Structure 1
């Protein structure tokens, strides 16, 4: 099995990978959904603060790779017969390394500027999205503390999402098709970065 990981700061446009996964018939699992599920399970409203605190709590309970552990269990239970799985929302080098201890992983980073991301999150309006610049910055800093900057820095591919959505979607699809086409090559390379 080959894992394709997608990372990027909140609002960068990681969700676009769902359209491509569906078109290419590749299963996709969201790590953010795992955290939101855990938040609901603990009977907490889906606010940015609650979701962030649960992410921190999970890491305190299970270590820095906590969400990767739960995500991989889910993948192995539901998709063990699939050759390629996309994992959306990788947030740290710990998670990258955890996945790579078990399966080869190719990592794609999505990049957008902070102002672009903030505007997108305000428009999206999900319950746990920030509605002020201060809350947005606080969330970014929390993500950076988790180590998302390291994951972005070691990505195998970088896709910029600043201009038009169609152009971004085409660029992202092109990268995923390249990975699918060269699956065997990517299965050979699986770097684990020691901390």
Structure 2
């Protein structure tokens, strides 16, 4: 099995992978859904602060790989016969390394500028999105504190998502084609960057 990880800052367009994955009939696991589920389980409202605090508490309790652990468990229990599984919403190099210790992983970063991302999040209006620039910046800094910047910087592929949505989809489709057409090669590719905890 090969894992394809999708990383990027909030509002960069990570969810565009859902559109493209359908064409290839590839299953997707969302790490953000796991954090939102844990937030609700604690009886908390889905606000940017509550979801962020839950992510921090999970990492304090289970370590920097906290969200990766239940993700991989789910994959091994429910998707073990799949050749390729996409994991959307990887937030740290610790999570990348955790996955790579167990399975080969190719990492795709989706990148957009802060202003573009802020405007998208305001438009998207999900419960844990923010309409305030200050809260948006706070969330960005929290994400960077998880080491998401390391994951983005060390991604195997980068998609710049600033313009037309179709352009982002085309870039992702080309990358998935390349990976799927060279599956055996990518299954051997697994660099682990050791990070101090």
- The answer to whether residue 174 in structure 2 is matched with residue 182 in structure 1 is no
2:166 aligns to what?
166
- The answer to whether residue 53 in structure 2 is matched with residue 53 in structure 1 is yes
Shift of 1:177: 1.2
Shift of 1:144: 0.1
Mapping for residues 64-103 of structure 1, pairs under 5 Å: 64-103=64-103
Q: Normalised by the size of structure 2, how large is the TM-score? A: 0.98
Shift of 1:168: 1.2
1:119 aligns to what?
119
For residues 136-181 of structure 1, what are the alpha-carbon distances to aligned partners after superposition, in whole Å with 9 as ceiling and x for unaligned? 0000000000000000010000000001011111111111111111
Structure 2 stretches lacking a partner, 5+ long: none
Mapping for residues 118-137 of structure 1, pairs under 5 Å: 118-137=118-137
Q: Give the match's secondary structure for 2:3.
A: strand
Alpha-carbon separation, structure 2, partners of 1:133 and 1:176:
34
Alpha-carbon separation, structure 2, partners of 1:80 and 1:67:
19
1:146 aligns to what?
146
Shift of 1:61: 0.6
Aligned residues: CA RMSD: 0.5
Alpha-carbon separation, structure 1, partners of 2:4 and 2:24:
13
Structure 1 consecutive aligned stretches of length 4 or more whose deviation exceeds 6 Å:
none
Structure 1 stretches lacking a partner, 5+ long: none
Shift of 1:24: 0.8
Q: Give the match's secondary structure for 2:5.
A: strand
Shift of 1:93: 0.6
Alpha-carbon separation, structure 1, partners of 2:178 and 2:115:
30
Size of the alignment, in residue pairs?
195
